Amino acid sequence: MERYLHRVNYYETDRMGITHHSNYIRWMEEARVDYLKRIGWGYEKLEEEGIVSPVIHLECDYRLSTTFPEEVYIEVTVEEFSGVKLKLRYRMYNEEGKTVFEAVSEHGFLDEKGRVLRLKNRCPEFCELLTGLAEEDRQ
């Protein structure tokens, strides 16, 4: 899968010129939204299907700092998919290929009324795709 590119903006840095830690979480979301769109299941399509996907867990490891105007590349992979919960892994690295941040996000799937969804029942095509990506990314 193609990586996502984010250029560090000046406003994302602190007085020391280093990217504020909270921005990496935002970049995860940018990359996740881009990833879903690339696999044909952007948020617009999910919402049209009546599906919302809240973040239910995050794990983050900060490795190296980044600064303005550095380019940060983000790889998103499907680590695990159970049909109810999706676990995505993120690796962010700089132009030298050095890892600056690694994270995992877990997402649930809910219907319009906030009830837990089994994607296999509601959206079997998306379920099959995520299952296949999880298997691919494990190899």
Tokens 């979480």 sit on residue: 25
Residue ranges of domains in the chain: 4-138
Q: How far apart are CA 51 and CA 121, in angstroms?
A: 12
State pLDDT tens for residues 58-90.
999 999 999 999 999 999 999 999 999 999 999
Please tell me whether residue 33 adopts helix, strand or coil conformation.
helix
User: Quick one: which of 35, 13, 90, 18 has its CA closest to 59?
Assistant: 90
pLDDT band at residue 2 under the 50/70/90 scheme: confident
Query: 3-state DSSP call for residue 111?
Result: coil
> What's the confidence (pLDDT) of residue 137?
75
How would residue 109 be classed by pLDDT, with cut points 50, 70 and 90?
Answer: very high
Homologous superfamily of 4-138: Hotdog Thioesterase (3.10.129.10)
pLDDT recorded at residue 138: 74
Quote the percentage of the chain above a pLDDT of 70: 99
> In this predicted structure, what is the pLDDT of residue 24?
98
Q: Which residue has the tokens 């973040």?
A: 55
